[in-house]
Amino acid sequence: MSDTHDYSKGFGARAAVSLGRPGLHDLVSEAVDRQSAARLQALESLDDPEALRDLAAEIRDDALARLDERLASLAANWEAAGGTVFFAADADEARSYVADLATRTGAKTAVKSKSMVTEEIGLNAVLEQMGVEAIETDLGEFINQVAGDHPSHIVAPAIHHSKADVARLFSRLSDEPRDEDAQALTGFARAYLREKFLSAELGITGANFGISEAGALCIVSNEGNARMCMSLPPVHVAVMGMERVIGTWDELAVMLALLCRSATGQKITQYVSLLNGARRSDEPDGPEESHLVIVDNGRSNLLGTRYSSALRCIRCGACLNVCPVFRQTGGHAYDPVYSGPIGAVINPLMKGTDEAGELAHASTLCGACTAVCPVRIPLHDLLVYLRQEYARESAPATERAGYQVWARAWSNGRRFAWFSRVGNRFGRIMGDRVGTRLPLPLLSRWTRPGRRLPSFPDKAYRDERKGAGG
Amino acid sequence: MTHERQPKKVILFPTCLVDLMFPDAARAAERVLGRAGCNVDFRAQAVCCGQPAWNSGHVEAARRVARGTLEALRGAEPIVTCSGSCTTMIQHYWPELFEDTPLESAARDVAARVREFSSFVAELISLLPELRSARVVTYHDSCHMLRGLGIKDAPRDLLGAIDGLELREMEGSERCCGFGGTFSIRYPELSCAMADEKVDDAASTGATTVVASDIGCLMHICGRADARGVALEGRYIAEILEGSMEEGVP
């Protein structure tokens, strides 16, 4: 099932599409439960995971506090190792840089490893337009590409596809019937992609971390595809969000310990690739050109604001896995790129509240996200702050007036008591019909999906107390 | 842990939803506190913590509502509330809500005195009369209770002190039920889809009573169960205790 959500409509409409999709809830909930259980188990292998999370938050805050210095040092050291650096202010600049690179090097095929920032900047569409075949080589992203789909999860992008979906998609791609056998389907993808790796002129990756003291990038993966993307083609370009820089190798050890455990429940991923510029003259392999594109694209909107902690994010997806809303809707109801609680926070901020402000309300503020975040982003508090901006700038006048009326009644004991007497009498007479028969939208929205109102009492507690001389 | 000297006087702050719609729950809390040796005061000008507006981003409305409650709750005695969620609002968010206002220090004072009912009573458990019940119940960990206040054991300790009561833990007891205050009416269908999972998890324990420390969750979970024809009644924790005290008297 491909993503047919309409992003010009609100979150509620998109959530309805997701809720109406047979099987989606089971696919998503099974996947996130598995990941969450694995995360908990992996954290047990740490002496003091809570202290490590504190440390990780500090490391990220420190990097953000001197971001200019860290990025300058990363760039200088990367260039010293024979690499090239480009700072892209927005998506357009980043896309253009990679597009120009493809043109200059005459690339016909580009192999890509999993990278949310390239999804964010819409890189594939631009490459396709210029006639460059951009192939996703992460299995999940490959499935999505064959399906014509967006990622529905930051770490596990194809959890919305069942094995049957994948068999059907791969059958269509290969013009051959394929069984719903995970190993056989993976084997097919592996063989298909191997050809692409060997023929591609351009390799595109993301970067999990940039280590400024070393001018190095770190990329974690479980499929080995990232390593091939960065070493087989003659030209490699890594696209990195500007906030993903840290200072030292020691800091990397801390971040890796938490990233792998939080993302996939592993102590360490199958591959941890470190790269530092282009192939040296005495080295037998590696790319001849190594480019690093550092992307802002709205991230600096968050710097120095009460939202800056969101830039600590290392895209582990743990907050998606525990989110009770995500588990119902999957990622597509949020945004084509960043979904779940972190997506609900950063989309409005990076794009501007007007475009995505509604996402901040796509949460019960249950705090499960905050409880698992390895870098201690207070996600549910940030959502409340975003709602404050929405309330001030974009909320409909009726909503604002409604809260004013409510505040008047609820701010005074006598007015509240009067309301309770009238409201309860009314409720007792009408019962559930208050939701269906009366023009009271708040009550009708309560009962609309099939949810009864509680029975209305004879007296509010305060009136009982008074009667009893309390 | 039992405290040698229990506070003589406490203020019971039922919170608006309990006060308005669930007076039985407030009365139960009052009686349990009374049996635990407390002298229970009620302040009629304390209505609401302001959370519905705060959570929706309407800070001014939240402050306006919370101000009256804050003024009414001044004093020295502990303030016992009938909601984990409202306790979280007062304890964690009032200092921020009243920051840089003349009421900031008063807000910090109230925040330091506010106590969630079950964790307060759990410390006085030895003062309660014999508790007995034949109920089979399951317990829902409401979000602010669990993650806001970090209270998971206290309500279970209380249920465990009731002779004959069986607590059957449900799958995913820590997962949000989908109420979320205004979320429940902003996204009603999604909210109910979330409730469905909770209803199913609760019902599959075989218990027909779901207990919680937040009545908003119960109103939502059981309103949905009722509409689906699933036998599941919601009980605020104080109601279970009160009922068990009565059953404990021969």
Give me the residue spans of the domains in chain B: 9-121, 129-248
For the segment A218-245, what is each residue's pLDDT rounded down to a tens digit? Answer: 999 999 999 999 999 999 999 999 999 9
Give me the residue spans of the domains in chain A: 11-300, 397-467
Of all residues in chain B, the one with the smallest CA distance to A423 is B20
pLDDT at residue A356, as a whole number: 56
Distance of residue B58 Cα from the nearest chain A Cα, in angstroms: 6
Nearest to A462 among B19, B57, B193 (CB): B19
Nearest to B189 among A16, A388, A454 (CB): A16
pLDDT at residue A469, as a whole number: 47
Contact state of A459 with B72 under an 8 Å Cβ cutoff? no
DSSP string for A244-260: -EES-HHHHHHHHHHHH
Mean local confidence (pLDDT), A183-207? 97
Distance of residue B78 Cα from the nearest chain A Cα, in angstroms: 18
Of all residues in chain B, the one with the smallest CA distance to A416 is B47
pLDDT at residue A470, as a whole number: 44
Of all residues in chain A, the one with the smallest CA distance to B178 is A364
pLDDT at residue B249, as a whole number: 53
Pairwise pLDDT comparison (A3 vs A77), residue with the higher score: A77
Cα dihedral value B137, B142, B147, B153, nearest 10: -20
Per-residue pLDDT band for A7 (boundaries 50, 70, 90) equals: confident
Spans of chain B, pLDDT less than 70 = 1-7, 247-250
Pairwise pLDDT comparison (A340 vs A429), residue with the higher score: A340
Question: CA–CA separation, B79 vs B73, rounded Å?
Answer: 8
Of all residues in chain B, the one with the smallest CA distance to A413 is B45
Is the pLDDT assigned to residue A339 strictly greater than 60?
A: yes
Indicate the average pLDDT of chain A. Answer: 94
For the segment A147-193, what is each residue's pLDDT rounded down to a tens digit? Answer: 999 999 999 999 999 999 999 999 999 999 999 999 999 999 999 99
Q: Which helix (H) or strand (E) holds A443?
A: helix A441-447
A371 neighbourhood in chain B, CB within 8 Å: 147
Nearest to B148 among A364, A367, A424 (CB): A367
Distance of residue B163 Cα from the nearest chain A Cα, in angstroms: 29
B68 C-beta neighbours (distance < 10 Å), count = 22
- Burial (CB < 10 A; 0-12, 13-18, 19+), residue A231, is middle
Token pair 């971001």: residue: A67
Interface pTM (ipTM) of the complex?
A: 0.95
Cα dihedral value A104, A106, A108, A110, nearest 10: -50
For the segment A84-141, what is each residue's pLDDT rounded down to a tens digit? Answer: 999 999 999 999 999 999 999 999 999 999 999 999 999 999 999 999 999 999 999 9
- Which residues, at least 6 apart from A187, have a Cβ–Cβ distance to it below 8 Å? none
CATH number of B129-248: 3.40.50.11810
Q: What is A11-300's CATH number, 3.90.1150.10, 3.30.2320.80, 3.40.50.10420, 3.40.50.720?
A: 3.40.50.10420
pLDDT at residue A358, as a whole number: 84
Contact state of B18 with A454 under an 8 Å Cβ cutoff? no
pLDDT at residue B1, as a whole number: 47
